[in-house]
């Protein structure tokens, strides 16, 4: 059975519904992990997504953050936040068990700028995620950590690594924090299939014609435990929706797994 997961930072689910619905019809992945919904739960546009054939689980807050998981099959379980005793004050983590796979969907903090309180919050969020993974899951089990990581893992993952060196998104401390989580037992599905490709998933609205000029970053990842990585048959970035009318500043990443071989 070929099973495709996608991750998509939509930058406002309500503003992005035309793009999301068109893209779901085109690609029809089994699972879609969404970030930056920017909507309270009571206002989440579940009905049109259900009409498109998906079960919908979400956790949001007013104006900022917010995550959702769309699945063709009913999840066995959905969890919101860390539930680790510290306050779950920002809607950045939703976890679901579906089709025998644990999905960990994160909108990691952006960090604003190196040294800012938000930057410290970002680094701590990565540490907290690693501790939470250790406490709740086994790297031997089929698990996918995906979402907007807000870190370009390596220099190849940013359009101008010299200019961005040490800046937020490329700082060594952030890259170490990302590696620390991955070190639990996760590998980058896109990089596994495309070791040398300079392919971005985010192009800033604020840079003039950034998409046309390909001034971007690869911030959106699909990270799989070993058993899943071994049956990952393909991974791609679908740049097309970034060129549509009223696009998100991010575009979807897809990874396909042969779950029958697990």
Partner DNA sequence: ATGGTTGAATGTCAA
Report strand pairing: 220-225 vs 232-237: unpaired
By beta-carbon proximity to DNA, the closer residue of 142 and 147 is 147
Interface residue with DNA, options 7, 11, 146, 201 (CB under 7 A): 11
Q: How many CA within 13 A on the CB side of residue 28?
A: 6
Interface residue with DNA, options 89, 195, 206, 260 (CB under 7 A): 206
Residues paired with residue 32 on neighbouring β-strands, in sequence order: 6, 70
Map residue 88 onto helix, strand or coil. coil
Question: Is 107 part of the annotated catalytic residue set?
Answer: yes
Q: Of the listed 148, 157, 188, 220, which one is catalytic?
A: 148
By beta-carbon proximity to DNA, the closer residue of 10 and 229 is 10
By beta-carbon proximity to DNA, the closer residue of 77 and 205 is 205
Q: Are 258 and 2 in contact (CB under 8 A)?
A: yes
Binding flag, residue 1, DNA (CB under 7 A): no
By beta-carbon proximity to DNA, the closer residue of 38 and 191 is 38
Question: Is 205 part of the annotated catalytic residue set?
Answer: no
The two tokens of residue 11 are 């930058």
Q: For the purposes of burial, counting CB atoms within 10 Å of the CB of 111, is it exposed (0-12), middle (13-18) or buried (19 or more)?
A: buried
Binding flag, residue 208, DNA (CB under 7 A): yes
By beta-carbon proximity to DNA, the closer residue of 13 and 237 is 13
- Concatenate the DSSP letters of all residues of 42-85 into one string: GG--HHHHHHTT-EEEEE--SSS--EEEEESSPPSEEEES--SS
The minimum distance between CB 217 and DNA, in angstroms, equals 10
Binding flag, residue 112, DNA (CB under 7 A): yes
The minimum distance between CB 142 and DNA, in angstroms, equals 30
Convert 46-55 to b/e letters by CB count within 10 Å (16 or more is b).
Answer: beebeeeebb
- Concatenate the DSSP letters of all residues of 201-236 into one string: SB--TTSTTTTTTT--B--EEEEEEHHHHTTEEEEE
The minimum distance between CB 199 and DNA, in angstroms, equals 19
User: Contact region for DNA (CB under 7 A) — 13-21, 97-105, 183-191, 224-232?
Assistant: 13-21
Binding flag, residue 244, DNA (CB under 7 A): no
- Kindly state the DSSP code that residue 139 receives in the 8-state scheme: T
Binding flag, residue 167, DNA (CB under 7 A): no
The minimum distance between CB 246 and DNA, in angstroms, equals 5
Q: Which of residues 45-84 bind DNA (CB under 7 A)?
A: 62-65
By beta-carbon proximity to DNA, the closer residue of 172 and 208 is 208
Catalytic residues: 107, 148
Binding site for DNA (CB under 7 A): 11-16, 38-40, 62-65, 109-112, 118, 150, 205-208, 246
């Amino acid at each position: 059975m070929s099973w495709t997961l996608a991750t998509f930072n939509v930058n406002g689910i309500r503003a992005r519904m035309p793009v999301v619905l068109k893209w779901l019809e085109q690609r029809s992945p089994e699972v879609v992990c969404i970030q930056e919904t920017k909507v309270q739960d009571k206002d989440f546009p579940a009905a049109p997504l259900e009409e498109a054939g998906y079960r919908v689980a979400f956790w949001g807050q007013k104006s900022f953050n917010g995550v959702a998981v769309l699945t063709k099959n009913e999840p066995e379980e959905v969890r919101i936040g860390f539930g680790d005793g510290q306050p779950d004050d920002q809607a950045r983590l939703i976890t679901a068990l579906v089709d025998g796979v644990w999905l960990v969907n994160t909108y990691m903090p952006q960090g604003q700028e190196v040294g800012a309180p938000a930057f410290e919050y970002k680094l701590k969020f990565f540490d907290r995620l690693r501790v939470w993974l250790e406490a709740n899951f086994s790297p031997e089990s089929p698990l996918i950590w995906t979402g907007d990581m807000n870190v370009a893992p390596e220099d190849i993952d940013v359009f101008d690594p010299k200019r961005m060196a040490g800046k937020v998104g490329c700082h060594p401390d952030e890259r170490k924090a990302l590696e620390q989580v991955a070190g639990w037992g996760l590998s980058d599905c896109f990089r596994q299939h495309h070791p040398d490709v300079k392919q971005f998933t985010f192009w800033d609205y604020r840079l003039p014609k950034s998409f046309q000029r390909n001034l971007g970053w690869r911030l959106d990842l699909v990270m799989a435990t070993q058993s899943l990585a071994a049956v990952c048959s393909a991974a791609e970035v679908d740049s097309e929706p970034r060129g549509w009318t009223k696009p998100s500043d991010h575009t979807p990443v897809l990874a396909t797994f042969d779950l029958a071989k697990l």
